């Protein structure tokens, strides 16, 4: 079963991971390693309470790009943490910001998992510094060829059966997989369109996983895609699925930010 890479949550007793068979959930890094602290100053942790549910990317001083399925109904408790390396420590570099509004891509659909993209407007602009910076969007959605080496980062699970994600930010090397090959793997569930990418490892030892959703895929040192989902983690025949920052999405991102520049919740 295809599943979004997101951490499931119960608001009553405790925060728990939910199995993909029970809920479309979506992604931590399999086969990765710790990054140098604050070497990825645009990484965001989307949280409910103090619990990490998804990653995100700071693209403007008041805007974070993430996956649409990372939206929950706990709006008053959702925050975005920037400048973090270890989520379990009170690092001086960290800033926790409240969310003003979220804007999903209009045609987002959980079934059959299409257009998994969302913008988060923060209530206040963040002060940029050495440990909190924005990541530039690509100028155009030029396609990425199969075989290109990329990096995916996040605080997600490091092994399939883990109950929690990583405390520290990790990164793994993956390679882009041909869409036709990926479609054969997934048998049309989901159908890998030109606005999506697949990336993984031939041996299945490197992958995104639960808790990594909304995080970035960096290819050729450029922001290329957003983690969406996959089937389990680290399966060479069920590689990670990403929302490609194509020419379909880039104009929407720009127009949405412009349209909401002075609009409050």
Count the neighbouring beta carbons within 10 Å of the beta carbon of residue 264.
8
Give Cβ neighbours of residue 8 (< 8 Å, ≥ 6 apart). 16, 17, 18, 22, 23, 25
Distance between alpha carbon 43 and the CA centroid of its chain, in Å? 10
Biggest alpha carbon–alpha carbon distance for the chain: 49
Q: Which of 158, 115, 128 has its CA nearest to residue 29? A: 158
> Residues with catalytic annotation?
69, 116, 213
Instruction: Say if residues 25 and 6 touch (Cβ distance below 8 Å).
Output: yes
Instruction: Say if residues 177 and 123 touch (Cβ distance below 8 Å).
Output: no
């Amino acid at each position: 079963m295809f599943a979004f890479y997101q951490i499931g949550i119960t608001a009553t007793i405790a925060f728990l991971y939910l199995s993909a068979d029970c809920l479309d959930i979506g992604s931590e890094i399999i086969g990765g390693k710790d990054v140098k602290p604050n070497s990825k100053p645009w990484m965001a942790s989307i949280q409910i309470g103090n619990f990490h549910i998804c990653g995100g990317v700071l693209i403007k001083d008041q805007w974070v790009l993430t996956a649409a399925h990372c939206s929950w109904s706990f709006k008053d408790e959702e925050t975005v943490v920037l400048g973090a390396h270890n989520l379990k420590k009170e690092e001086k570099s960290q800033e926790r910001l409240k969310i003003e509004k979220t804007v999903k891509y209009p045609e987002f659909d959980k079934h059959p998992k299409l257009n998994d993209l969302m913008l988060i407007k923060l209530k206040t602009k963040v002060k940029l510094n050495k440990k909190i910076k924005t990541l530039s969007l690509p100028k155009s959605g030029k396609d990425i060829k199969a075989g290109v080496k990329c990096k995916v980062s996040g605080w997600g699970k490091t092994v399939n059966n883990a109950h929690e994600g990583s405390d520290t930010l990790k990164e793994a090397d993956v390679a882009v997989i041909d869409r036709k090959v990926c479609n054969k793997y997934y048998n049309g569930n989901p159908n890998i369109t030109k606005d999506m990418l697949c990336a993984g490892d031939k041996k299945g030892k490197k992958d995104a996983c639960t808790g990594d959703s909304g995080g970035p895929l960096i290819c050729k040192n450029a922001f290329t895609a957003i983690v969406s989902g996959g089937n389990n983690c680290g399966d060479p025949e069920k590689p990670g699925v990403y929302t490609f920052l194509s020419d379909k999405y880039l104009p929407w991102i720009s127009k949405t930010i412009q349209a909401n520049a002075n609009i409050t919740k």
